[in-house]
Structure 1
């Protein structure tokens, strides 16, 4: 039987008062989830911001319930070191509940990049916008690494966008500030208790745990092949270099809008084919269509067959690339099997793909002001 989990899901309109600052927070709507708990957009009211004695909202924050765990410890430690392009905590203790407490985070109006991909850019972002997103997120990751910490879950879900007063911000969430964004969440719910983990009726691993099933080889092998899944082992096997692998995986998600694989073996076969061809296909599905169960299991012994596949199926020499060589180099550098050969953030940001990146105004024009999904061209590979 599953363990009973009490979900933190207060009603919309609920008002909490910070006992230290007397700032009031009013829950406006659900904008995401964190495990079993809902995450809320909330308006806040400061005591000195009123009109004829009536309090006026001073702005918006994200309210998230934090359960006891290492994410709180690491986030508290992170606050001692300034981090650029980081979704910060505005107030730690708003309201206590059982062993946890509510916290207020910076409100990011557009949600996560993954949310934007799932709702508007189903086939991926334009490449020049991928450069902008990754560059902004890498600045935050750089400072996290400099503080001696490993992100561990870097992905499109942890990169958030805020658009306010015609200005654009792209920030990286880390530990306590991370959550699954969904701005179309229901505003009300009567569900109070969940039993056991959520069950997904599909064989395709969900993107929400992509940092697990698509983790760097050294991490995946340590956690699954050796059945060492405890938290301490998870901490030991994840390093700065395993974060760089996840940067490469995030780049693929931004480029294609999604990453699907029925198993780790199929995922490995897909990544290996990209390495062998040193090219990114127009669609990842073109690779998956050619991966048989036998090939996925024996890929390491079938190099000749794979090379022949690329000569016959993906003759790209005279065809227009789906992606620039500069972007492909970033992906290949990050997805190196050998952790020691993956680049540092400093080295990655010096690559032409990022050196020539446009600014946030371009992202606003091409993404935030786009009227609809922007499918990429099909070159008929």
Structure 2
């Protein structure tokens, strides 16, 4: 995440280790995930123009990620975040934690090889990110949204960015219908259905809403079982379905009007300098995690000072700021979330 810098990709501002936990500091997206907004206010699904508007932002972020050699691997409504102003971006905490475990295994092997070649010298490897071959062969994601080639690889070549496009197709259906196809099945049956059966198709909603041919066509294109036949993110952005997409002001008025900020419902604000900064909270999926909320208006320098003070107060093992020297584009709170067991770091 640290090497990605795009308005439609959640920015990693800083990271540090506390005990056996890796903490990641990002801008706070006050409305949480699209999934949490839907569960509370739109359980039957969203209007077609709202779906197009949200997913256009997702595709802009995904186009950037793919262009820079990344694969998101877990695109779904729960990983699409939205601010109070209607700004949409991709986040991916669950997969980041899984990547960490694989990356640590890889670096342990690398470190052993370096020590051996140096005659036993303790040489620490440089941690730049997971190698492409490791990232593209790891079984990561959520079954409902995972591509057939991820669930049942046919060879040792793994998968590529087209696996994300399958997830885009499933997410389009999720936003339109309120849940992904096969959602009621247990994980193993989801896997078998995805691998063996024809791909799902978008049908008109049970509540009587009818979807356009363009919408059904774009879903079908994404859900081709032949990965090379799927369009790229850039090609999808030119699809006629996304010509109706609106901006953040539209999403604020049509999706978020009357929706309270997430923080007011399940997060307590944390004052600067408080000795009770670490608090339990519940995410949109019901998962429990710990978080810190940083005060607004601090900018990157203030964030670094605050995080450094927190590191000293809580006897944190390490702290590292993000690579950019500029303040984040969006003003407001920052949030630090405990992501994974990092005891081996």
TM-score w.r.t. the length of structure 2 is 0.55
Q: Does 1:171 align with 2:89?
A: yes
Q: 1:176 to 1:114 in 2, by over 3 A?
A: closer
Q: 222, 245, 248: which is aligned to 2:169?
A: 248
> 2:13 corresponds to which residue?
90
Residues 152 and 243, structure 1, Cα contact 8 Å, conserved in 2: yes
Please give the per-residue CA displacement for 1:134-171, whole angstroms capped at 9, x wherever unaligned: 001111111111110111111111110001xxx32111
> 2:225 corresponds to which residue?
337
> 1:62 corresponds to which residue?
none
Q: 1:85 to 1:169 in 2, by over 3 A?
A: same
Residues 145 and 166, structure 2, Cα contact 8 Å, conserved in 1: no
**1:329 offset after TM fit, Å?**
1.1
Q: Which runs of 5+ in 1 are unaligned?
A: 1-74, 180-208, 227-232, 285-319, 373-381
Greater fraction of residues in strand = 1
Distance 1:178 1:154 in 2: 13
> 1:133 corresponds to which residue?
54
Q: 142, 149, 153: which is aligned to 2:74?
A: 153
**1:214 offset after TM fit, Å?**
3.8
Distance 1:343 1:242 in 2: 11
Q: Does 1:216 align with 2:147?
A: yes
Q: 86, 101, 107: which is aligned to 2:22?
A: 101
Residues 86 and 256, structure 2, Cα contact 8 Å, conserved in 1: no
Query: Mean Cα displacement is larger for which, 256-265 or 134-143?
Result: 256-265
Please give the per-residue CA displacement for 1:262-305, whole angstroms capped at 9, x wherever unaligned: 12267449973745xxx523239xxxxxxxxxxxxxxxxxxxxx
> 1:351 corresponds to which residue?
239
Please give the per-residue CA displacement for 1:106-141, whole angstroms capped at 9, x wherever unaligned: 100000011111111100111100001100111111
Distance 1:217 1:176 in 2: 20
Q: 1:324 to 1:170 in 2, by over 3 A?
A: same
Q: 1:339 to 1:283 in 2, by over 3 A?
A: farther
Q: Which runs of 5+ in 2 are unaligned?
A: 98-139, 261-345
Please give the per-residue CA displacement for 1:32-86, whole angstroms capped at 9, x wherever unaligned: xxxxxxxxxxxxxxxxxxxxxxxxxxxxxxxxxxxxxxxxxxx23x24xx32311
> 1:237 corresponds to which residue?
158
Q: 1:160 to 1:218 in 2, by over 3 A?
A: same
Residues 152 and 238, structure 1, Cα contact 8 Å, conserved in 2: no
> 1:272 corresponds to which residue?
198
Distance 2:196 2:43 in 1: 20
* Alignment root-mean-square deviation, CA: 3.1
Greater C-alpha radius of gyration? 1
Q: How many matched pairs?
A: 213
Please give the per-residue CA displacement for 1:227-256, whole angstroms capped at 9, x wherever unaligned: xxxxxx8xx623111010000011111011
TM-score w.r.t. the length of structure 1 is 0.50
